[in-house]
Structure 1
Amino acid sequence: MRVRRLATPALLAHAVLIQAVAFLLRPAAVYQAIQLGVPAWALGALGASFALVPLLIALPTGGLVDRVGARAVMAVGSLVAVGAAAVLLLAGGSVAGLLVGIALLGAGHVGCVVGQQTVVAGGSGGTRLDSRFGYYTFAASLGQAIGPAFIPVFAGGSVRPDPAPLFLVGGVLAVLLLAVTAGIRGPAPHGRTPEEASPGSTLGLLRVPGLARALLTSATVVAAVDLTVVYLPALGAERGLPAGVVGALLTVRALASMASRLLLGAATARLGRTRVMVGGIVISALCLVLVALPAPPVLLFVAVAALGLGLGIGQPITMSWLIERTPADRHGRALALRLAGNRLGLIALPSLLGALAAAAGAGGVLIGTGAAVGATLLLLRGVRLD
């Protein structure tokens, strides 16, 4: 795929919109759950519901992308996202409705993201691939900033806002997402016969040296991003922070991730992927702990901004590294395998940290997340990312 095709407004707009939908609807669902009396330790179930269905369908979705093309799968994913917003708006007054709506959102998200990443994956490798994934994830971070920015608009100074207007805005964005899909021009599906396809199963990709550890690192970092979306609102509610402040914190985190991704190609060309990845992990681990500690709002914003810089690095590096090590006709499957690992992390890490929420509240979960992110440095020992 040519760089000019990669940079089409439709693809980047699609990346922005799916993340905006997810990062608006999910905090809104947390506020709704809090209003329904769901305790902090049980909020991880919302994160798990976002991850469980995608975990089950990610690998088949990757195979489908390779066979029928990215745009068709992205269209289906966009339609499911519209349905998710409708369920949250109409049935979000119950815990069951919240869980179903967020599960549908996760399913739509995985279809859109695997399709987008497969489109991005075409072209040359090396630092140019880092740059392309950096620009793509920059667009995704822009969506992650736009989504929470609607919270202060509708919530004002309320600590526990009415989520219904947020669900409605998320639905409008999801309809736009579906419309934008028509303008995307992705690579043609391979449509190869089994005899022509590259040998080996999707899970067989795990035999690539260092791949399993790199995917586990990626899953932990993605889970850390996800847990900030769930537990920053919970932390704000515990400390009496207005919802507008929490929305601004989530937006600042996303903007900082945008900055790190925009400069990623230059950074990896100068320092190498390994050094950049290690630096991002160290910054992320330290700042997750700092965010959880009592501090004035100004210091909280500084810590969240640094956290965004660190968390923004892991995803594009692991994506470009993975693509360089897989055949072109298996890019969709490889990216889906990475996404499945990420979704497994979204289930496992919140479940492991749920006891901390019961004992130490949302701050305890964020500290535990920082420890988990820091521990991934051990996984990267001996892995050659460059």
Structure 2
Amino acid sequence: MPSPRPSRTGAGILAQAFLLQLAAYIVRPASAYRAIELGVDPGLVGLIAASFALLPLVVAVFVGRWTDRGREWPALVIGSGVMVGAGAGLLFAAANLGELLFWNAVVGLGHLLSVIGQQTMVARTGRGRPGGLDSAFGTFTFAGSLGQAAAPLVLAGIGGSAVLPDTRLLMLAYTAACVGMIAVALTLRPKGARPSTVEAPTPSWGQVLRVPAGTRRTMTGAMLLSMLVLAAIDLIQVYLPAIGVERHIPSSLVGVLLTVRAVATMVSRLRLSRLTARLGRSRLVATSTCVAGLAVGLIAVPMHPVLLASCLVVGGFALGIGQPLSMTIVTLAAPAGTTSTWLALRLSANRLGQSAIPAVLSAATAGVGTSGIFLLTGAGLLGTAAVARALIPE
């Protein structure tokens, strides 16, 4: 069936990825600051990250099955619309912690729909050439990292030297980015009839889950890697503002530090195909996750902002590798016709980590402050490095 030209589709996906991450990485710290404005204990800020993951955790696989039938474009449009609606809710109906958590859950649902649509399109364009998936997912996640890098600049511009920025302006900036997502999605509308399935026919649930033991181990390793790496990035995004408040770091400098982490992540993703060719996926996964664990753990130590920025550079570079590699690993291992479903299962693992890990850490570190969050996150990454090395083949 007719569809947009590949070059236009590729550019549109990258624009969507940029705007999606720009919006998400504006609203997450904005919600953290809003919670602090409401008088919420900083140790409970992790509940915002958990709420973001709640609805996606429930519906991710169903969205993946639906997208496997060739519905990538509707997923992009609906997801963008849901995120715009959440922006209106955050602006006009988030006067307490419960409402703030609810609207962050809606943001997470829209984010899920958009991500699955984007990743399915990327998987299709990256197949059929050596290193194509590593390169395609590396470029895709680079565009997302560019949005992550731009978001803290918005935070710095709006917050200035104030410890607590104007959260209403931040929510307006988030909503504007989501409106841009809808505009880009509309340019990707397939011409003519509804687009054909990506990998027809769509297999049954039994066929999806009936995979060899080696494939299951590979999928498990990739999902564990993805879950812990994403949780670490999320916790940095949510808890670095809290660390800034505790250590009296201006919000503008916190924004710069978050940008430093995001830029370091972008650099690693641009070089992903070369790093993979040199080290192999399994060794690269283990090395990068181990380095990330050490760097994230050091954030817990009170230090000069320059040293803190150094930790974020090293940690950001290492954390940037796990996500695109896990997408490639899952795409290559998925049986024909199940790519979106397995990518959705990977996202379910991500959302489980985003939901459970912050909540557990918030409870576990209630007596030791936010620094304990980074110590435990670093330890978790070190354990993940060892497990992923054992499960993911070269």
* Superposition TM-score tier, normalisation by shorter sequence: over 0.9
Between stretches 17-26 and 60-69, larger displacement belongs to 60-69
| Partner residue in 2 for 1:200 | 206
Matched, 1:144 2:127: no
| Partner residue in 2 for 1:108 | 110
Deviation at 1:336, TM superposition (A): 0.2
> Any unmatched runs of 5+ in structure 1?
none
Counterparts of 1:3 and 1:193 in 2: how far apart (Å)? 24
1:216-262 Cα shifts (integer Å, max 9, x gaps): 12111111111111111111111111111111111111111110000
Query: Is 2:283–2:389's contact at 8 Å kept on the other side of the alignment?
Result: no
Counterparts of 1:132 and 1:190 in 2: how far apart (Å)? 17
Determine which of 11, 14, 19 is the counterpart of 2:13: 11
Counterparts of 2:212 and 2:18 in 1: how far apart (Å)? 30
Query: Is 1:202–1:337's contact at 8 Å kept on the other side of the alignment?
Result: no
Amino acid in the other structure paired with 1:363: S
Amino acid in the other structure paired with 2:381: V
> Any unmatched runs of 5+ in structure 2?
none
Determine which of 233, 245, 259 is the counterpart of 1:251: 259
| Partner residue in 1 for 2:169 | 165
| Partner residue in 2 for 1:335 | 343
| Partner residue in 2 for 1:69 | 71
Counterparts of 1:125 and 1:295 in 2: how far apart (Å)? 46
1:65-88 Cα shifts (integer Å, max 9, x gaps): 112420111110000010111111
Counterparts of 2:255 and 2:25 in 1: how far apart (Å)? 10
Deviation at 1:126, TM superposition (A): 5.0
Counterparts of 1:135 and 1:19 in 2: how far apart (Å)? 14
Query: Is 1:40–1:358's contact at 8 Å kept on the other side of the alignment?
Result: no
| Partner residue in 2 for 1:118 | 120
Query: Is 2:221–2:392's contact at 8 Å kept on the other side of the alignment?
Result: no
Query: How do residues 1-386 of structure 1 correspond to structure 2 at under 5 angstroms?
Result: 4-5=6-7, 8-122=10-124, 123-124=127-128, 126-184=130-188, 188-190=196-198, 192=200, 197=203, 200=206, 202-204=208-210, 207=213, 208-210=215-217, 211-386=219-394
Counterparts of 2:5 and 2:298 in 1: how far apart (Å)? 40
Query: Is 1:87–1:100's contact at 8 Å kept on the other side of the alignment?
Result: no
Amino acid in the other structure paired with 1:150: V
Tell me how many residue pairs correspond in the alignment.
384
Amino acid in the other structure paired with 1:98: L
Query: Is 1:145–1:250's contact at 8 Å kept on the other side of the alignment?
Result: yes
Deviation at 1:274, TM superposition (A): 1.5
Counterparts of 1:168 and 1:205 in 2: how far apart (Å)? 46
Counterparts of 1:312 and 1:372 in 2: how far apart (Å)? 17
Deviation at 1:169, TM superposition (A): 0.8
Q: 1:147 to 1:205 in 2, by over 3 A?
A: farther
Counterparts of 2:149 and 2:196 in 1: how far apart (Å)? 32
Query: Is 2:156–2:256's contact at 8 Å kept on the other side of the alignment?
Result: yes
Counterparts of 2:85 and 2:128 in 1: how far apart (Å)? 37
Deviation at 1:93, TM superposition (A): 2.4
Deviation at 1:188, TM superposition (A): 3.5
Query: Is 1:70–1:189's contact at 8 Å kept on the other side of the alignment?
Result: no
Between stretches 1-10 and 27-36, larger displacement belongs to 1-10
Q: 1:121 to 1:198 in 2, by over 3 A?
A: farther
Per the normalisation by structure 2, the TM-score is 0.92
Query: Is 1:32–1:93's contact at 8 Å kept on the other side of the alignment?
Result: no
Q: 1:373 to 1:75 in 2, by over 3 A?
A: same
Deviation at 1:19, TM superposition (A): 0.6
Query: Is 2:199–2:338's contact at 8 Å kept on the other side of the alignment?
Result: no
Counterparts of 2:165 and 2:337 in 1: how far apart (Å)? 47
Query: Is 2:298–2:374's contact at 8 Å kept on the other side of the alignment?
Result: no
Q: 1:206 to 1:357 in 2, by over 3 A?
A: farther
Counterparts of 1:14 and 1:184 in 2: how far apart (Å)? 10
Counterparts of 2:159 and 2:170 in 1: how far apart (Å)? 9
Query: Is 2:295–2:378's contact at 8 Å kept on the other side of the alignment?
Result: yes
Between stretches 4-13 and 280-289, larger displacement belongs to 4-13
Per the normalisation by structure 1, the TM-score is 0.94
Between stretches 308-317 and 266-275, larger displacement belongs to 266-275
Deviation at 1:113, TM superposition (A): 0.4
